Structure 1
Amino acid sequence: MPFVPTTLIANATIWDATGAPAFAGDLLIEGNRILAVGPDASAGRAPADQVIDGSGKTLMPGLTEGHAHISFGDAASTEDLIAPSPEAHTLITARMAGRLIDQGFTSCYGASAAKLKLDVAVRDAVDAGHIPGPRIRAGSTEITVTGGMGDESKLHNPRIGISCVVDGPEEMRRAVRLAIREGCDNIKLDVSGDPFYPGSPSHVTPMSFAEVQMAVDTAHAFGRKVNAHSRSIEGSKYCVRAGVDGLFHVEYADSELLDMLEEAKDRIVIAPSIGLFHAMIHHGEPWISRAACDAMGIAALIEASVETHSALRKRGIRHLIGGDYGLAWNPQGTNARDIRLMIDYYDYDAAGALICATRNGGQAMRDQGDLGTLVPGALADMLLVDGDPLADVTILEDKNRLAMVMKDGAIHSIAPGLIDCATPAQRRVA
Structure 2
Amino acid sequence: MSTILFTNVNILDSTGAQPFLGEVLIVEERIAEVRPGTGNLPREGAQVIDGRGQTLMSGLCDAHTHFTWNDGDLNGLETMQVEEHLLHTVQSAKAYIDYGYTMCFGAASAKKRLDVVVRNAINAGDIPGPRYLANGQEVATTAGDLVPGITQIADGVEEMRKVVRETIGLGVDQIKLSISGEEITGSKAATDTYITEEELQVAVDEAHRRHVRVCTHARSRDSVIISLKTGVDMIYHASYIDDEGMDMLEAAKDRVFVAPAINWLVATLHDAEAFGYSHEAAEQAGYARELDIAVKAIREMRRRGIRVLPGGDYGFAWTPRGTYARDLDHFVKLFGYTEMEAIIAATALGGELFQKPNELGKVLPGFYADLILVDGNPLEDITILQDLTKLTAVMKNGEFHREPVDHVVSNPETADLAMSRN
Q: Which residue of 2 aligns with 1:165?
A: 153
Question: Deviations for 1:179-209, whole angstroms, at most 9, x for unmatched residues?
Answer: 1211211100111111123332111111111
Maintained 8 Å contact 2:259/2:311: yes
Amino acid at match of 1:124: N
Deviation at 1:92, TM superposition (A): 0.5
What is the rounded CA distance, in whole Å, between the counterparts of 1:17 and 1:9 in structure 2? 17
Q: Which residue of 2 aligns with 1:97?
A: 93
Deviation at 1:391, TM superposition (A): 0.5
Alignment of 1:285-296 (within 5 A): 285-287=273-275, 288-296=277-285
Q: Which residue of 1 aligns with 2:347?
A: 358
Maintained 8 Å contact 2:61/2:104: yes
Maintained 8 Å contact 1:309/1:346: yes
What is the rounded CA distance, in whole Å, between the counterparts of 2:245 and 2:215 in structure 1? 17
Q: Which residue of 2 aligns with 1:375?
A: 364
Report the secondary structure of 1:25's partner residue.
strand
Maintained 8 Å contact 1:61/1:372: yes
What is the rounded CA distance, in whole Å, between the counterparts of 2:242 and 2:327 in structure 1? 25
Q: Which residue of 2 aligns with 1:426?
A: none
Asked if 1:401 corresponds to 2:394, the answer is no
2:104 to 87, 104, 108: 108
Alignment of 1:1-400 (within 5 A): 4-39=1-36, 43=40, 47-76=44-73, 78-150=74-146, 152=148, 161-287=149-275, 288-367=277-356, 369-400=358-389
Unaligned stretches of 5+ in structure 2?
A: 413-422
Deviation at 1:177, TM superposition (A): 1.5
What is the rounded CA distance, in whole Å, between the counterparts of 1:206 and 1:282 in structure 2? 28
Deviation at 1:178, TM superposition (A): 1.2
Give 4+ residue runs of structure 1 displaced > 4 Å after superposition. 40-46
What is the rounded CA distance, in whole Å, between the counterparts of 1:75 and 1:216 in structure 2? 32
Q: How many residues align?
A: 411
Maintained 8 Å contact 2:21/2:37: no
CA RMSD in angstroms, aligned pairs only: 1.6
Deviation at 1:213, TM superposition (A): 1.2
Deviation at 1:42, TM superposition (A): 8.0
What is the rounded CA distance, in whole Å, between the counterparts of 2:207 and 2:44 in structure 1? 47
What is the rounded CA distance, in whole Å, between the counterparts of 1:113 and 1:147 in structure 2? 19
Unaligned stretches of 5+ in structure 1?
A: 153-160, 424-430
Maintained 8 Å contact 2:141/2:153: yes
Distance 1:267 1:42, change over 3 A: farther
Distance 1:46 1:350, change over 3 A: closer
Maintained 8 Å contact 2:146/2:182: no
Moved more, 52-61 or 142-151: 142-151
- Aligned residues: percent identity? 41
What is the rounded CA distance, in whole Å, between the counterparts of 2:63 and 2:39 in structure 1? 34
What is the rounded CA distance, in whole Å, between the counterparts of 2:211 and 2:27 in structure 1? 30
Question: Deviations for 1:301-357, whole angstroms, at most 9, x for unmatched residues?
Answer: 001111100000111111111111101111011001110011111111100111111
What is the rounded CA distance, in whole Å, between the counterparts of 1:422 and 1:70 in structure 2? 35
Amino acid at match of 2:120: D
Report the secondary structure of 2:385's partner residue.
helix
Amino acid at match of 1:132: P
Query: When the two structures are superposed, what TM-score results if normalisation uses the length of structure 1?
Result: 0.92
Amino acid at match of 1:385: V
Query: When the two structures are superposed, what TM-score results if normalisation uses the length of structure 2?
Result: 0.94
Amino acid at match of 2:308: H
Maintained 8 Å contact 1:8/1:42: no
What is the rounded CA distance, in whole Å, between the counterparts of 2:310 and 2:345 in structure 1? 6
Moved more, 138-147 or 198-207: 198-207
Question: Deviations for 1:128-184, whole angstroms, at most 9, x for unmatched residues?
Answer: 1111111111111111000113374xxxxxxxx111010112212221211121121
Report the secondary structure of 1:12's partner residue.
strand
Deviation at 1:264, TM superposition (A): 1.0
Report the secondary structure of 1:244's partner residue.
coil
Question: Deviations for 1:26-58, whole angstroms, at most 9, x for unmatched residues?
Answer: 111111111111226985757252111112200
Distance 1:310 1:48, change over 3 A: farther
What is the rounded CA distance, in whole Å, between the counterparts of 1:281 and 1:44 in structure 2? 51
Question: Deviations for 1:272-317, whole angstroms, at most 9, x for unmatched residues?
Answer: 1110111112211232112320231000000111110000011111
Deviation at 1:244, TM superposition (A): 0.9
